[in-house]
């Protein structure tokens, strides 16, 4: 890999990922709107950009496959190839292969043409049959072409995508030319001759279109004339010198590129005559201040930038330190009562709050970053499972911390696959149940306070408690006394699976327990509601950010701890006489019922307090309330979450640590783990 390209590798990977995702989205839309010519043009532009970037980086295998895919898209455009499910699937195969090639390049693997041979041959078969009329209509009689008369730079077919590429190139200070070349009639090896001519030109620029197509030129399947659009930094004279350095050229023309719209604007001119190789080609008058007809317009719009995450993390650490110093100032004020500090403290508080809000917003990403890949996945699953289903997405603009978004993909894929495989019934079954034959999976996201709720629902067969109970008992899971809802939640039990047949989609007894573990790791919770033959709804609750949170500071014994405020329902004072014992645990009264009591000093193996008075922090874990006992209340405080040592992480009672105003360290309790006794 060339060192010159190493500087641009990261940019290439980012842009390629974006372009491939855009192509996936647009091809999916094209399947629903096969006659949308604007959409096809848009797809062309993105594919052309991807091909150009690959060629610039010297990734020939990727360039070759993208070019072949473009040929197929061109058949869609001309109507020779019908936009149907099979042909769309073939384009998706190309996109998957291109993503595989990008990933290989990212891992510094060498690409081989063997990687694309099978797909290339499949594309070639479809394109050949289309050209012969087998896929798009009646076969057209072969026409013998003879290039007689004046050499011309006029194209028989033109593409808006080329005009856009030229416009963008001109904005970047490049020149665009239309070149026509006539080979000597005695030229025996036309294909290799064209290859050499084009190779010379591409050392100093890029050929973005040829007529006839590149494949025909390569095979020598043309008479003597061919045309191209050429982008370069070279002047017109330098381009001519480049062409003249070749042999077996009868004549040529080089003109400044003009879009068809520009030609129409000007008065008709006498057609340029063919120029002998040594003669000067006729020059067009250069417009003084004329812009290309379709150069990109400079509009005021929202702009997005990519930011190195390491820099963001550094920025966040600085803000975190500021918050720590602010807490120290507040502590000093409380201890010394120095009134002069107050004004400065107010300013520090204001600035740190603004900085904190700013950096958290910078870290925010819309969930569409993850959601955008799912429509394609559901489409492929529908074909694979021989079912009819579609995915509706709501609220994809909802934002979450980048860390949460990046970790969200895997659990969401598990849940979606589960809905497609286990939830949505086959069309015949749905028809018998009086449902539409096409199933609906709905994925929605919305913000509620300082949390984001992600809801995944389907109108499938639901979770049948009887089937789940039978499966659980076969696996030795005790279901005594469990409600239907509690039995349904057993699908998140490690190793649980109701699938009678293991498939590539689901049914290996793993997946949903991993989903729950990942969501819990992100500080969130997961809940399921399901009705037999009606459907299933899974609700995932996630924190907006994992970095700075509001916490309730408490003391257990002589040690300070933090409890995330978003899980706290209320705090009540409690005495030992208020605590009752059942057969297997301690409980206390709350809201006309009894809730379990968690003695944190025993759980954390700390010396018990002598005081009869304690505080019960009422929290909700899943659908159950718990009372977490602490000895003292310090108060509410904004804290910075710091990672803890891997050894402490294994205890699974803490989700991190924070630095207090006096410089001491307090551990942050993992409420879900504490309540479940893990």
Running DSSP on this structure, what letter comes out for residue 583?
S
What are the Cα distances from residue 312, in Å, to 320, 321, 655?
12, 14, 22
Residue with tokens 């520090």: 348
Q: Are 294 and 160 in contact (CB under 8 A)?
A: yes
Q: How far apart are CA 350 and CA 474, in angstroms?
A: 60
**Number of alpha carbons in the 13 Å side-chain half-sphere of residue 516:** 17
Q: How far apart are CA 484 and CA 466, in angstroms?
A: 8
Q: Are 539 and 454 in contact (CB under 8 A)?
A: yes
Please confirm, yes or no, whether 386 is among the known catalytic residues. no
What are the Cα distances from residue 224, in Å, to 207, 221, 437, 626?
19, 10, 57, 85
Running DSSP on this structure, what letter comes out for residue 209?
E
Residue in 418, 422, 425, 672 annotated catalytic: 418
Six token digits for residue 491: 């699908």
Helix (H) or strand (E) run with residue 673 in it = helix 671-675
**Which residues contact residue 639 at a Cβ distance below 8 angstroms, ignoring those fewer than 6 apart?**
548, 549, 550, 551, 553, 562, 658, 666, 668
Instruction: Extract long-range pairs of 506-515: CB within 8 Å, 24+ residues apart.
Output: 506/417, 506/418, 506/421, 506/422, 507/421, 511/414, 511/417, 511/418, 512/414, 512/415, 512/418, 514/410, 514/411, 514/414, 515/411, 515/414, 515/415
Please confirm, yes or no, whether 390 is among the known catalytic residues. no
Q: How far apart are CA 202 and CA 197, in angstroms?
A: 9
Residue in 26, 70, 211, 672 annotated catalytic: 70
Write the burial class of residue 626 (CB in 10 Å: 0-12 exposed, 13-18 middle, 19+ buried).
buried
As a three-state string, the secondary structure of 439-490 is EEEEEEEEEECCEEEEEEEECCCCCCHHHHHHHHHHCCCCCCCCCHHHHHHH
Please confirm, yes or no, whether 422 is among the known catalytic residues. no
Residue 64 φ/ψ region, left for φ over 0, alpha for ψ in the -120 to 50 degree band, beta for the rest? alpha
Q: How far apart are CA 467 and CA 470, in angstroms?
A: 5
Residue in 19, 24, 26, 48 annotated catalytic: 48
Q: How far apart are CA 487 and CA 479, in angstroms?
A: 7
Q: How far apart are CA 484 and CA 482, in angstroms?
A: 7
The length of the chain in residues reads 678
CB atoms within 10 A of CB 289: 4
**Number of alpha carbons in the 13 Å side-chain half-sphere of residue 589:** 4
H helices of 141-284, in order, are 160-171, 190-202, 214-219, 236-244, 260-265
What are the Cα distances from residue 14, in Å, to 2, 19, 106?
19, 9, 10
Helix (H) or strand (E) run with residue 530 in it = strand 525-531
**CA neighbor of 417 nearest in space, from 508, 290, 327, 324:** 508
Helices (H) and strands (E) counted in the chain, each on its own, are 22, 22
Residue with tokens 């639901």: 462
List, in sequence order, every residue forming a beta bridge with 536; answer none if it has no partner.
458, 530
Residue with tokens 């842009």: 15
* Active site positions, annotated: 48, 70, 418
């Amino acid at each position: 890999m060339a060192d010159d390209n190493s500087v641009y590798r990261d940019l290439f990977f980012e842009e390629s990922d974006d372009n491939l995702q855009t192509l996936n989205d647009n091809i999916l839309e094209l399947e629903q709107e096969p006659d949308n010519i604007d959409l096809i043009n848009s797809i062309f532009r993105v594919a052309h950009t991807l091909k150009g970037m690959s060629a610039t980086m010297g990734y020939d295998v990727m360039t070759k496959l993208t070019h072949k895919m473009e040929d197929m898209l061109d058949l869609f455009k001309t109507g020779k190839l019908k936009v149907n499910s099979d042909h769309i699937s073939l384009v998706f195969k190309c996109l998957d292969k291109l993503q595989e090639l990008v990933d290989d390049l990212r891992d510094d693997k060498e690409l081989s043409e063997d990687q694309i041979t099978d797909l290339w041959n499949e594309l070639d078969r479809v394109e050949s049959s289309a050209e012969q009329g087998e896929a798009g209509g009646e076969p057209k009689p072969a026409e013998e072409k003879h290039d007689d008369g004046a050499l011309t730079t006029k194209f028989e077919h033109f593409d808006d995508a080329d005009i856009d590429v030229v416009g963008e190139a001109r904005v970047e200070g490049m020149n665009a030319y239309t070149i026509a070349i006539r080979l000597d009639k005695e030229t025996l090896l036309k294909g290799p001759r064209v290859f050499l001519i084009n190779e010379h030109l591409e050392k100093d620029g890029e050929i973005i279109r040829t007529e006839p197509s590149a494949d025909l030129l390569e095979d020598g399947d043309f008479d003597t004339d061919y045309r191209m659009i050429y982008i370069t930094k070279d002047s017109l004279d330098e381009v001519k010198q480049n062409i003249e350095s070749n042999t077996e050229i009868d004549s040529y023309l080089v003109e400044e590129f003009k879009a068809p719209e520009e030609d129409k604007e000007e008065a008709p001119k006498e057609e340029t005559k063919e120029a002998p190789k040594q003669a000067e080609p006729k020059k067009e008058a250069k417009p003084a201040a004329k812009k290309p007809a379709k150069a990109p317009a400079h509009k005021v719009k929202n702009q997005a930038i990519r930011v190195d995450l390491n820099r963001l993390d550094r920025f966040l650490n600085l803000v975190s330190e500021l918050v720590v110093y602010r807490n120290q100032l507040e502590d000093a004020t409380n201890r010394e009562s120095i009134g002069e500090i107050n004004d400065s403290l107010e300013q520090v508080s204001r600035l740190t709050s603004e900085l904190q809000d700013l950096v958290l917003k910078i870290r925010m990403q819309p969930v569409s970053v993850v959601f955008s890949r799912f429509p394609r996945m559901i489409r492929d699953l529908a074909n694979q499972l021989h079912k009819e289903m579609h995915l509706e997405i709501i609220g994809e603009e909802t934002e979450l911390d980048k860390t949460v978004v990046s970790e969200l993909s895997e659990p969401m894929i598990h849940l979606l696959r589960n809905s497609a495989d286990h939830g949505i019934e086959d069309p015949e079954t749905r028809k018998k149940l009086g449902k539409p034959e096409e199933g609906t999976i709905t994925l929605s996201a919305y913000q509620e306070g300082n949390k984001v709720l992600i809801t995944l629902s389907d109108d499938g067969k639901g979770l049948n408690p009887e089937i789940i109970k039978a499966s659980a008992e076969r696996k030795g899971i005790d279901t005594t006394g469990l409600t239907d809802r509690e039995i349904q939640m057993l699908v998140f039990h490690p190793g649980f699976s109701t699938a009678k047949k293991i498939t590539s989609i689901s049914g290996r007894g793993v997946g949903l327990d991993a989903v729950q573990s990942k969501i819990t790791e992100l500080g969130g919770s997961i809940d399921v509601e399901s009705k037999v033959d009606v459907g299933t709804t899974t609700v995932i609750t996630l924190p907006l950010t994992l970095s700075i949170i509001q916490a309730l500071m408490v003391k257990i014994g002589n040690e300070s701890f933090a409890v995330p405020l978003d899980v706290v329902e209320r705090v009540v004072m409690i005495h030992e006489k208020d605590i009752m014992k059942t057969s297997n645990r301690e409980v206390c009264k709350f809201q006309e019922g009894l809730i379990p009591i968690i003695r944190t000093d025993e759980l954390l193996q700390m010396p018990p307090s002598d005081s009869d008075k304690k505080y019960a922090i009422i929290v909700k874990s899943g659908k159950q309330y718990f009372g977490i006992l602490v000895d003292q209340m310090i108060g509410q405080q904004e804290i910075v979450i710091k990672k803890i040592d891997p050894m402490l992480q294994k205890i699974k009672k803490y989700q991190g640590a924070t630095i207090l105003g006096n410089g001491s360290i307090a551990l942050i309790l993992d409420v879900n783990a504490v309540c479940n006794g893990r």
